[in-house]
Amino acid sequence: EITDINDNAPSFKEVDLEERMSEATAPGSRFPLPDAHDPDSGRNSLQSYELSGDEHFSLAVQAGPGGDQRPELVLAKALDREEAAFHELVLRAIDGGDPARTGTARIRVNVVDANDNAPVFSQAEYTVRVPEDVAVGSVLVTVAATDTDEGLYGSVKYSLKKSTGKALKKVQLDSETGAITLLQSLDYEEGDSYELEVQGRDGGDLFDTAKVVITVTDINDNAPVISVRSTLSEISEDAPSGTVVALLHVQDRDSGANGEVRCSLDGDVPFLMEKSFNDYYRVVTARELDREQVSEYNVTVRAADGGSPSLQSSAVLALRVLDVNDNAPVFAEERYSARVAENNAAGALVLTVRATDADWGQNARVRYRLSEGRVRGAALSSYVSVQAETGALYALRSLDYEQVRELRLWVRAEDGGAPALSSNVSVLLQIVDENDNAPQVLYPPAAPPGSGSGSGSGWGAAWSGVELAPRCAADEAAAPGEPAGSLTRWLVLAVAAVSCLFLAFLLLLLALRLRRWRRRQLLPPAGAALRGVPVSHFVGIDGVRAFLQSYSHDVSLTADSRKSQLRFSASASCCDTLPARPLPDEPAPLLGDE
């Protein structure tokens, strides 16, 4: 009998074993393992199994029908492929020898994935801020969801489930990458934010959702809009300050500083811009208007926002200023004068006065009329008249210089306003003399009827020493067509010449008297001292006296050529003369007592 010794170790047919186990396998599940073989017998044969390597598994040994041992792998703890995709175990077979021998087998448990994990987004909410002028086609944001499963169960597809506003029309979601792309241009004024709900789904119909908020930031892309709600097209020039001309609504669709609007008026205009409430403004008059200076206004209202660069807009208000009668007619000249020849035709045009009124329409219509007055007891209107529309002044009668030298009158210009305004101007009409009157000899009077020419000696004796001017002297004095003023000048010059000559004779007479007085002082008082004096000395004094007597003058001048007079008189004298020659039987004194 051959006694067995423990010279063989237990052995497994396959030392490397690989098992596939779903991670969804329930704990407690059993999986048979290959058994070991030990050729020894008795106590030296296979006695037991041991398992090591992982807490997820345990070993169970079942007794076979023949008393053999069958090892089983028991799942003690649920598997999770996402935690461990495989597990490595060591199965030992031990015999009963002393020392005991062992045999080992390596077991690799591959955990088969089960769709036990849903996709998970990296953020529960995605928030992005984009300017409203972002280009179409730009990627606004990319969402990402991960699934720890593998294969089909780990592949995530993205989709949009719901959105607010017009987001579905504005953006597009890439189902593979999760990129959200802009399809249409954004406008902050149409929508300042969009909300999306994005879903990530794996191949096993597990999913996750995330919220995407797209916030649109404003840029200064809108100019202010001016809306004229009410306006006046006409305003009276006497409207008080503060009169409302227009009501405007100004709005900028931008936000923040880009939407802050400043309103102003262009140019130096008599208007102000005032804010009523909110976005409403009113244009009012800053002072009284004057239509005569500016009859129409084109008021430019300008609105500028606070953006950088600033955007502007403008509106024009056309305003016509209505006239009121606040201006009196004004004559073109301060005073008018004209020279009118006498003997004019009745109805002749004398002059034309002209007045203008700065007002407009009926208020500027000027009519003329004469102020009441009288000339030589007759009404002024009987001499001249003025045409009411044109201001033409006409002579109604033939004027006579010898009756009226000048006419002074007032012409009134009156406008058509209510009440009417007026102004006056003085008009001087000077009548120019014409040679329409023949000279008249005032003295001596004409000879009475029946008197003959033989009586001329009697007249000569009565008017001794008087020089008579012939009738033709007046016709040489004033030539035909010569003005009356020239004739008067010549008469004055003639009188001045005669006066100078007369003064010269007076001086000569005074010199002679002084000479005689001096000689008298030098001669002896006796009468015998005169015996040697020639008789011609005495005769000379008488001649002077006769000359002075014969050339004494009496002059009377008037501005009226018809009434001017030049009279020579023997009885009138402008100075002291020597006494008349004494009778022959009387002694003649050399010097008078004067």
Assess whether pLDDT exceeds 50 at residue 455. Answer: no
What pLDDT sits at residue 398? 92
What pLDDT sits at residue 385? 94
What pLDDT sits at residue 489? 85
What is the enclosing helix (H) or strand (E) of 109?
A: strand 102-112
Asked if residue 382 belongs to a domain, the reply is yes
Q: What confidence tens digit (pLDDT) does each residue in 222-267 have? A: 899 999 999 999 999 999 999 999 999 999 988 888 989 999 999 9
Q: What is the mean pLDDT of residues 181-206?
A: 90
Residues 27 and 83 placed together within one structural domain of the fold: yes
Domain that holds residue 295: 225-322
Residues 178 and 150 placed together within one structural domain of the fold: yes
Residues 152 and 63 placed together within one structural domain of the fold: no
Residues 340 and 316 placed together within one structural domain of the fold: no
What pLDDT sits at residue 573? 39
Assess whether pLDDT exceeds 80 at residue 473. Answer: no
Q: Of 322, 340, 356, at which residue does a domain stop?
A: 322
Residues 317 and 336 placed together within one structural domain of the fold: no
Asked if residue 148 belongs to a domain, the reply is yes
Residues 297 and 353 placed together within one structural domain of the fold: no
Note the pTM of the prediction, 2 decimals.
0.50
Q: What confidence tens digit (pLDDT) does each residue in 278-327 have? A: 899 999 999 999 998 999 999 999 999 998 889 999 999 999 999 999 99
Tokens of 360: 């407009």
| Residues ≥6 apart with Cβ < 8 Å to 515 | none
What pLDDT sits at residue 562? 46
Half-sphere exposure of 352 (CA within 13 A, CB side): 6
Residues 212 and 236 placed together within one structural domain of the fold: no
What pLDDT sits at residue 2? 86
Residues 376 and 425 placed together within one structural domain of the fold: yes
Asked if residue 306 belongs to a domain, the reply is yes
Q: Of 432, 454, 475, at which residue does a domain stop?
A: 432
Residues 339 and 398 placed together within one structural domain of the fold: yes
Total domain count for the chain?
4
What pLDDT sits at residue 449? 61
Asked if residue 194 belongs to a domain, the reply is yes
Residues 202 and 281 placed together within one structural domain of the fold: no
Q: What is the mean pLDDT of residues 524-536?
A: 48
Assess whether pLDDT exceeds 80 at residue 545. Answer: no
Lowest mean pLDDT among 269-273, 289-293, 482-486: 482-486
Q: Identify which has the larger pLDDT, 82 or 18.
A: 18
Q: Which residues pair with 199 in a beta bridge?
A: 159, 209
> pLDDT tier at 447 (50, 70, 90 boundaries)?
low
Q: What is the mean pLDDT of residues 335-342?
A: 94
Query: What is the spatial distance between Cα 292 and Cα 35, in angstroms, rounded to a whole number?
Result: 127
Assess whether pLDDT exceeds 70 at residue 94. Answer: yes
Asked if residue 237 belongs to a domain, the reply is yes
Residues 213 and 164 placed together within one structural domain of the fold: yes
- Residue 60: give its domain's CATH number: 2.60.40.60
Q: Residue 386: how many CB atoms within 10 A of its CB?
A: 24
> pLDDT tier at 442 (50, 70, 90 boundaries)?
confident
Asked if residue 344 belongs to a domain, the reply is yes
Assess whether pLDDT exceeds 80 at residue 163. Answer: no
Asked if residue 94 belongs to a domain, the reply is yes
Q: Which residues pair with 107 in a beta bridge?
A: 17, 89
What pLDDT sits at residue 577? 39
What pLDDT sits at residue 572? 40
Lowest mean pLDDT among 81-85, 345-349, 385-389, 457-461: 457-461
Half-sphere exposure of 93 (CA within 13 A, CB side): 27
Q: Identify which has the larger pLDDT, 139 or 1.
A: 139
What pLDDT sits at residue 141? 94
Asked if residue 565 belongs to a domain, the reply is no
Average pLDDT, the chain: 82
Q: What confidence tens digit (pLDDT) does each residue in 7-49 have? A: 889 999 989 999 998 888 899 999 988 889 989 888 888 889 9
Query: What is the spatial distance between Cα 26 and Cα 76, in angstroms, rounded to a whole number?
Result: 9
What pLDDT sits at residue 347? 92
Q: Of 382, 400, 432, at which residue does a domain stop?
A: 432
Residues 244 and 273 placed together within one structural domain of the fold: yes
Q: Which residues pair with 284 in a beta bridge?
A: 244, 272
